[in-house]
Structure 1
Amino acid sequence: MDTFDFSRRLTAEALGTGVLVATVVGSGIMAETLTKDIALALLCNTLPTGAILVVLITVLGPISGAHFNPAVTLVFTGKRELPPQEAVLYVIAQIAGGIAGTMAAHLMFALPVVDFSMKTRTGGAQWFAEFVAAFGLIATILAGIRFQRTAVPWLVGLFITAAYWFTASTSFANPAVAIARSLTNTFAGIRPMDLPGFIVAELCGAFVGMLLMNWLLGRPEVRGPVKIVETSR
């Protein structure tokens, strides 16, 4: 397996997060342009997001691990698979890439480069939804790596596609993406003042997901062969 230097890994994280956010924001803008049906617009936002995750994880995963998400990076740091000093730079690259992705989407649709969102996303139900989304994402990643590593891109893409629809928050599940989405006053936006609740919920969900999956996926006990005792008459 090729080993890439740290500068290439950081670039892959920034690029991947940027393309992910450009897809989320851009498909949301396109959906709003094409239809006033909110359910249809959400579907138009969902499918490109799930699809691009499959692509990005497949092509950039071998370079950086394809985190594209500070919550994922912190989980792998907690598992001692990524040094803390590298994790900090991963997170910075992800946030910077996500912001660039929003700007790119705006430029493609001739919108102001930065336009702070006015879309309200707050409250206990929304926060719990983000906890569930992040928990499910981490569980999917860790179980996928353990049992079917080559399927992880599809597993993550399919989970996020589903979570768009079964969570009240439409499954941000990613602090870097949430920050980037606060800079767009479009379909995918979130008010900057609503970010703290989302980010805390996402990090808590990821942490709990890591704890549970560390236990659930632990190596099973090795037991001796079952002995069948025959009783002579």
Structure 2
Amino acid sequence: MQAFIRNNRGFLIFLMLFGLFRTAVADWNPIPSGSMRPTLLEGDVVLVNRLAFNLKFPLTNVVLAHTGDPKRGDIVTFFSPKDDKRLIKRLVAVPGDTVEMRDKILIVNGKPETYAPIGIVSEQVKPNLTLNALRLDESDGQAKHVIQWLRPQQGDARDSFAPMVIPADHYLMLGDNRDNSADSRYFGMVPRELLIGRAVGVIASADITQNWQPRFERFASSLN
């Protein structure tokens, strides 16, 4: 073993530094589900800036310093407060915000988001289940992004929730695929120490339904 370490010292140091880089500076996140459709697709590989919000002790959630403030509209990777599973969602409310949802309409600080229909697409939600999805531009008046609804308004209990004030160092997360996303409506608000980083772009992508054929049009694409 000592001879192996001595003969491969440079490579082992590289692996160690690479591991530290991935856990503290930058990382990539494969997308396994459709909860962020149409922004992110299953088979996308997303680049994550792990220094966007916190500097953490490697391999832990111990925050050493704050490096930036999460903002509404950020696409964020984090550990679920329910089961510690790594997730990616859109941040929709920050500390001090009062947020509610009425029949799918998100309301932040008393101001409803606006929703401009884009069109209807056929969306496969299970191997043998295809639904029509209504895609819309969701806007707060300054920034907008595309979301989709799989059900009509008033279609589910999670289409509405009562007003809540976001406490210090906590955030509310929603999937862009609003009717097919296990998000803060299921597991509650996310404390800052569980944030991993901000997703900044798609590195590569492959269609998992077509034998992992590359989707070159999504390579090196930015996120909004």
TM > 0.5: no
Higher share in helix: 1
Higher share in strand: 2
Short-chain TM bin = under 0.3
Task: Tell me: higher relative CO, structure 1 or 2? Use CA pairs within 8 A at least 6 residues apart.
Answer: 1
